[in-house]
Amino acid sequence: MAILVDDKTRVVVQGITGHQGSFHTSLMLEYGTRVVAGVSPGKGGQEVHGVPVYETVQEAVDKHGANASVLFVPAPFVKDAAFEAIEAGCSLVVVIAEHVPLHDAAAIVAFARQRGAIVIGPNTYGICSPGKSKIGIPPNSIFRPGAVGVVARSGTLSYEIVQAISQAGLGESTVVGMGGDRVVGLTFIDVLKRFEADEATRAVALVGEIGGTAEEEAAEFIKTMSKPVVAYVAGRSAPPGKRMGHAGAIIERGRGTYESKVAALTAAGVQVADFPWQVAELLRQKLGAA
Amino acid sequence: MKLYEYMAKGVLRENGVPVPPGRLARTPEEAEAAARSLGPCVVKAQVLVGGRGKAGGVKPAQTPEEARSRAGEILGMNLKGCVVETVYVESMLGIDRELYLGITMDNAAKRPLLIASASGGMEIEEVPERAIVRQPVPVEWGLMPYATRWVAHRLGLSGDLARQFGEIALKLYEIFRRYDAELVEINPLAVAGDRLVAADARLNVDDDALYRHPDLPRTSEATELEKRVRELGLAYVELDGDIAVMANGAGITMATLDVLQRYGGRPMNFLDAGGGAAAGPMAEALKVLVSTRPKAIFVNIFGGITRCDDVAQAVITARREVGISMPMVVRLVGTNEEKGVEMLRGEGIQAYRSMEEAAARAVELARAGEGVEG
């Protein structure tokens, strides 16, 4: 078991003929991901690393049963490409690009909600269920199949923590990069619910950062979970953030700081690591005791 | 990107939201001339930081002469690190009450949120929860007139004021959408006799959407140093420590600063060279770090899209072109790690694999360098 993606996930790569699209298609294939088709408008009929390229996502879905899409398209074209994937029936859409306009991201998330699709990103490295499937751009070498579910807002910081979990021999059930942008498709709670229900997951690592209220909201849900959760929150040393006028302050109402997040998580029984490399050790203690 | 008050008010005016007449002034003489045509007025510092009123950046003037001397006091004033270069001279309103009206993106709910209060003004952030009205707006359908009537009713507005409030709220939502705003805010929304008027305004535009707003003016709060690095396409924020940092990815860069601080070090900057930056821009960014004369430089890379050999090349290039006289610690793992480590070894630099050891070493070297002139 794993969450969101597994060896049955059939992936279409939008923007497959581009530099990044082509490069990461080869790495995903190397990892064992079932990349069944690519899409690049104007370039249908070609092949990239043996993967057939089509004009539309609909063809990829109809001819190859693609049910997930990963977008390697520049930020200004992300909204259109994501809508196309959702309309064509992909139930999972992974948006790698950073700098996607905020209003575009909100529109994508709203459309996905209407159609019951899940959006990972924007500004994400993607998702990996080790040994089964990787959709996105993280290095193949850091993963190892195992018992820890990892959910993160930031990218490279989770590579750091995932690698430590792998090296500690624990391994991961699924690693989800929700994306670093302010509006992304998933919330911590969406992912935590799935980990709680997933048989392969025995503990969860949550990698958060300052800003927004996602960690505080996650803490409320964690109180209801049976599985142990360990967290790391980045941004302890950041100077008081640049606030977005009064409306931002009114929404956050004192939440959003490092102290607020750690307090909320601790109150929910989460052990918060002082250093990123301690996450794996804390997980080992939890799993050893379980 | 934040717009100055006068720019935000220009956008509001163009879109039919009532704002007081006003004129921009760069000198006390210009302020005097503006006041001559406006009558009793308020002289307002044009800065991008909030809280200028409490800091003395907003002053009333009854006569043109008074406007001239008030402008003389405000121009050149340092408000929270921003030097005031222009003032906005605005016709004085007879304000009976102050409301608050803002629209922003509720990131957690992933949709726009209209926020209003009958207790607007400078203390808005202290207003108790029960005095704040929130109206979520569905992305698909936008703000409907009925929703603005609900909000007006909950604010205790009736009759023509309620009608005016609804019109302003709908126009504000149009502005929020049309300009890719992160925030559009009127505080206070003044009740002046039988009219509602935007006495102050804020409009923050999403940086990632600026490409589709070529006609909007551009502003920047960045320091010269920050501008130099950002022009390379990298994220940079100046801090006040003595260890210069380059890492890749916002999360790991923040974590790097946290770790240095926990070890007793003081980071000098946030430099995120993530997103697969090429060797060239990274070398240029390193040169900027060297020019700030830190006690030590810490490069912390977990290569994903970023390739370790590109990082090594950047270090080597910067060293050859400007020399790096201060101690430097490089931690390098991930994509093309062996190649990068080998390249550095050829230059006599021993790269670290462990972030823990590397960070501890960087703090130690910065301490050793204390008191020594770079």
Q: What is the pLDDT of residues B41-75, one digit of tens each?
A: 999 999 998 888 888 999 999 999 999 999 999 99
Q: What is the pLDDT of residue B51?
A: 83
Give dist(CA B335, CA B338) in Å, integer.
9
Q: For residue A2, tell me if it sits in a domain.
A: no
Where is the domain boundary, B212, B243, B260? B212
All residues of chain B having their beta carbon less than 8 Å from the beta carbon of residue A247 are: 102-104, 113, 115, 183, 185
The last residue of one of the domains, among B56, B73, B91, is B91
Pairing of strands B41-45, B97-106: unpaired
Residues within 8 A of B (CB atoms), A 173-202 only? 180, 182-183, 187
pLDDT given for residue B234 in this prediction: 85
Radius of gyration of chain B from its Cα atoms, rounded to whole angstroms: 26
Rounded to the nearest angstrom, the minimum Cα separation between B211 and chain A is 9
Yes or no, beta carbons of B251 and A245 under 8 Å apart? no
CB contact under 8 A, A183 and B335: no
Exactly one of B6, B100, B173, B236 is catalytic; name it: B100
**For the domain that residue B118 is a member of, what is the CATH number?**
3.30.470.20
Residue B127 sits in the same domain as residue B191 = yes
Judge contact between B89 and B53, C-beta under 8 A.
no
Q: Is residue B307 part of a domain?
A: yes
Least CB-CB distance to A103: which of B185, B209, B259?
B209
Domain of residue A189, CATH code: 3.40.50.261
CA-based nearest residue to B211, from A75, A51, A105: A75
The one-letter code for the residue type at B299 is V
- What pLDDT does B71 receive? 97
Choosing from A63, A98, A120, the residue where a domain stops is A120
Strand partners for A209: A234
Co-location of B68 and B127 in the same domain: no
B30, B185, B226, B337: the catalytic one is B185
Are residues B45 and B101 located together in one domain of the fold? no
- Residue A37: strand, helix, or coil: strand
Written in H, E and C, the secondary structure of A141-161 is HHCCEEEEEEEECCCHHHHHH
Interface confidence, given as ipTM, is 0.91
CB contact under 8 A, B254 and A245: no
What pLDDT shows up at residue A250? Answer: 63
pLDDT band at B374 (very low <50, low <70, confident <90, very high): very low
Please check whether residues A182 and A280 belong to one and the same domain: yes
> Are B206 and B171 within one domain?
yes
Cβ of B304 within 8 Å of Cβ of A159? The answer is yes
Residue type, B169: A
A1 within domain boundaries: no
How far apart CA A3 and CA A198 sit, in angstroms, is 7
- Residue B325's alpha-carbon distances to A152, B344, B374, in angstroms, are 38, 16, 7
What interhelical angle do B159-178 and B145-154 show, nearest 10? 130
The verdict on B103 and B86 lying in the same domain is no
Residue B182 sits in the same domain as residue B228: no
Does the CB of A266 have a partner CB in chain B at under 8 Å?
no
Question: Which residue spans within B87-210 are E strands per DSSP?
Answer: 87-91, 97-106, 111-117, 132-136, 181-192, 195-198, 201-205
Min Cα distance A102 → chain B (Å) is 7
Structural domain boundaries enclosing A284 = 126-289
In-domain check, residue B3 = no
CATH of the domain at B43: 3.30.1490.20
Please check whether residues B165 and B288 belong to one and the same domain. no
Same domain, A27 and A158: no
pLDDT attached to residue A249 = 62
Across the range B4-31, mean pLDDT stands at 97
User: Is residue B302's pLDDT more than 80?
Assistant: yes
Q: Which of B82, B104, B225, B226 is nearest to B175 (CA)?
A: B104
- Residues A274, A135, single domain; the answer is yes
Q: Which residue of B105, B205, B212 is the best one to mutate when testing the A interface, meaning the one whose CB has the most A CBs within 10 A?
A: B105
Tens of each residue's pLDDT in chain A, 290 residues: 799 999 999 999 999 999 999 999 999 999 999 999 999 999 999 999 999 999 999 999 999 999 999 999 999 999 999 999 999 999 999 999 999 999 999 999 999 999 999 999 999 999 999 999 999 999 999 999 999 999 999 888 999 999 999 999 999 999 999 998 999 999 999 999 999 999 999 999 999 998 888 999 999 999 999 999 999 999 888 876 544 556 666 666 677 889 999 999 999 999 999 999 999 999 999 998 54
The answer to whether residue B217 is domain-embedded is no
- Residue A115 near chain B (CB below 8 Å): no
Residue of A nearest to B258 (CA): A237
The dihedrals phi and psi of B142, each to the nearest 5 degrees, come to: 80, -175
Q: Closest-CA residue in chain A for B123? A: A246
In this prediction, residue B223 has a pLDDT band, given cuts at 50, 70 and 90, of confident
- Whether residues B251 and B296 share a domain: the answer is yes
Same domain, A220 and A278: yes
Classify residue B286: in a domain, yes or no.
Answer: yes
Domain assignment present for residue B373? The answer is no
Identify whether residues A70 and A212 lie together within a single domain: no
Higher pLDDT, B80 or A60: A60
Contact (CB<8Å) B302/A247 = no
Closest residue in chain A to residue B276, using alpha carbons only: A20
Do A143 and A106 lie in one domain? The reply is no
Same domain for A148 and A285? yes
Q: Which residues of B touch A98 (CB under 8 A)?
A: 275
Could you tell me which chain B residue has the CA closest to the CA of A237? B258
* Any B CB within 8 A of A247 CB: yes
A102 interfacial to chain B (CB closer than 8 Å): yes
Distance (Å) from the alpha carbon of B172 to chain A's nearest alpha carbon: 14
pLDDT for B280 equals 92
Out of A23-32, A150-159, B31-40, B196-205, least confident range: A150-159
Q: Is residue A4 part of a domain?
A: no
Q: Which helix (H) or strand (E) holds A252?
A: helix A245-252
Contact A277 B106 (CB under 8 A): no
Residue B184 is part of which domain span? 97-212
- In a domain? residue B291: yes
Same-domain pairing of B187 and B257: no
Q: Give me the mean pLDDT over the B136-144 stretch.
A: 97
Handedness of CA A107, A113, A115, A121 (dihedral sign): positive
- B129's CB contacts (< 8 A; 6+ apart) are A253
The beta-carbon neighbor of B208 closest among A99, A137, A154 is A99
Beta-carbon separation of B185 and A237 below 8 A = no
> Does residue B91 sit in helix, strand or coil?
strand
Q: What CATH number is attached to the domain comprising B340?
A: 3.40.50.261
Q: B111 to chain A: which residues are within 8 Å by CB?
A: 106, 110
DSSP H helices, chain B, are 5-14, 28-38, 64-74, 145-154, 159-178, 224-230, 250-262, 279-291, 308-322, 337-346, 355-368
Q: Which of the residue ranges A134-138, B128-132, B158-162 would you say has the lowest mean pLDDT?
A: B128-132
Sign of CA dihedral B66, B72, B73, B78: positive
Indicate whether B16 belongs to any domain. no
Number of residues assigned to chain B = 374
- Same structural domain, A151 and A279: yes
B-chain CB neighbours of A243 within 8 Å are 50
| Domain co-membership, B134 together with B159 | yes
Quote the mean pLDDT of chain B: 93
User: Would the CB atoms of A153 and B262 count as touching at under 8 Å?
Assistant: no
Contact status of A214 with chain B (Cβ, < 8 Å)? yes
Q: Alpha-carbon distance A71 to A73, whole Å?
A: 6
The amino acid at B78: N
Torsion of CA B348, B351, B357, B362, to 10 degrees: 60
Together in a domain, B67 and B112: no
Overall number of domains in chain B: 3
Considering only CB atoms, which chain B residues are within 8 Å of A109?
Answer: 110, 139
Q: What is the mean pLDDT of residues B211-237?
A: 88
Same domain, A254 and A132: yes
How many domains does chain A divide into? Answer: 2
The confidence score (pLDDT) of residue B293 equals 93
Does any domain span residue B1? no
A148 and A228 housed in the same domain = yes
Residue where a domain stops, chosen among A78, A96, A120: A120
CA distance linking residue A17 with residue A213, whole number of Å: 38
Q: Which of B54, B70, B91 is the last residue of a domain?
A: B91
For the record, the structure tokens of A207 come out as 């990698």
* DSSP code of residue A33: -
Residues A137 and A276 in one domain: yes
Number of cross-chain residue pairs from A and B with Cβ atoms under 8 Å apart = 175
**Residue A49 annotated among the catalytic residues of the structure:** no
pLDDT value at residue A226: 97
- What is the amino acid identity at position A226? S
pLDDT of residue A253: 67
Residues A88, A158 share a domain: no
- In the stretch 63-92 of chain A, residues with CB closer than 8 A to chain B read 75-76
Q: Read off the DSSP letter of residue B274.
A: T
Residue reference for tokens 């049309």: B178
Say how far apart CA A131 and CA B275 lie, in whole Å: 26
The two tokens of residue A86 are: 């959702």
Interface test with B, best of A78, A103, A151, A279 (most B CBs within 10 A): A103
**Closest alpha carbon to A107 in B179, B205, B111, B180:** B111
For residues A146-159, one letter each, b for 16 or more C-beta atoms within 10 angstroms of the residue's C-beta and e for the rest, the string is bbbbbbbbbbbbbb
- Select from A120, A150, A168 the last residue of a domain: A120
Nearest to B251 by CA among A33, A270, A279: A279
Does one domain contain both B120 and B73?
no
Would you state the pLDDT for residue A136? 96
